[in-house]
């Protein structure tokens, strides 16, 4: 798991890789929208007026994406300290 540390900079807070101190980038999950992939209300035929996605994504585990270290080149789920 890549560990991300928040540091204060003159431009605000910035996330860096705890292992090497390099910059990290957030990669959006292509399978879901904000961590939820599809709607499941439990009915065989959905009668919901406005069905919203309510099932957590099985790729990003409901986080909406993951961090990538630009130096270590590792892609793992987030663990901010």
Q: DSSP string covering 18-56, please?
A: TTT--BEEEEEPSS-BTTEEE---S-SS---SSPPP-EE
pLDDT, residue 10, reads: 92
pLDDT, residue 50, reads: 73
Q: What's the token pair of residue 55?
A: 């099932």
Q: Residues 43-69: what's their mean pLDDT?
A: 80
Does residue 27 contact residue 65 with C-beta atoms inside 8 Å?
yes
Q: Which residue has the tokens 């959006």?
A: 28
Q: How far is CA 15 from the centre of its chain?
A: 14
Q: Residues 53-81: what's their mean pLDDT?
A: 74
Q: Residues 14-20: what's their mean pLDDT?
A: 89
């Amino acid at each position: 798991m890549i560990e991300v540390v928040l540091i204060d900079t003159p431009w605000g807070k910035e996330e860096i890789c705890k292992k090497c101190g390099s910059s990290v980038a957030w990669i959006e999950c292509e399978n879901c929208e904000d961590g939820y992939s599809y709607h499941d209300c439990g009915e065989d035929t959905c009668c919901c007026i406005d069905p919203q996605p309510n099932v957590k994504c099985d790729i990003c585990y409901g986080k909406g994406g993951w961090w990538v270290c630009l130096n270590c080149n590792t892609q793992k789920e987030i663990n901010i300290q």
